Amino acid sequence: MPQKKVAKVVEQGRIYINATFNNTIITITDKEGNTLCWGSCGLAGFKGARKSTPFAATTAMETVARKAQQIGIKEAEVYIKGPGAGREAALRAIKAVGIQISMIADVTPIPHNGLRPKKKRRV
């Protein structure tokens, strides 16, 4: 007989926001990094170019944050990655829902010299 799922109550967590040019993906985890809930602009019902707007990021963040509040999250550390339009909008949405932000960190990867440049053009 399969075991019944036990409702997990987590007070503190982490919110990872991956803001690309085409979408904003949000993952909420506990302190150990186990995913509790996630969402994106696409999951919130936006398609095409509208996925990359700040409004779409706000809507997606609100739906995911409400799910997290049902689990019991009251305080969270926020990790933002990427150059997308939904960065600040998602942060505003977290505050609007009522989750306390204890820390904000930008974890966008920065190249330490990057790719090898293209060879010089000869005409």
For the chain, what are the domain ranges?
A: 12-106
CATH number of this structure's domain 12-106: 3.30.420.80
Q: What is the mean pLDDT of the chain?
A: 91
Predicted structure pTM score: 0.85
Q: Could you report the per-residue pLDDT of 41-91, keeping only the tens digit for each? A: 999 999 999 999 999 999 999 999 999 999 889 999 999 999 989 899 999
DSSP-assigned states of every residue in 6-24 = PPP--SEEEEEEEE-SS-E
Question: Between vectors from CA 89 to CA 38 and to CA 27, what angle results, nearest 5°?
Answer: 15
What per-residue confidence (pLDDT) applies to 123? 85
3-state secondary structure of 81: strand
Predicted local distance difference test score (pLDDT) of residue 116: 92
Taking every pair of Cα atoms in the chain, the longest distance, rounded to a whole number of angstroms, is 74
Confidence band of 9 (pLDDT split at 50, 70, 90)? confident
Residue 33 has pLDDT above 80, yes or no: yes
Task: State the pLDDT at residue 2.
Answer: 72
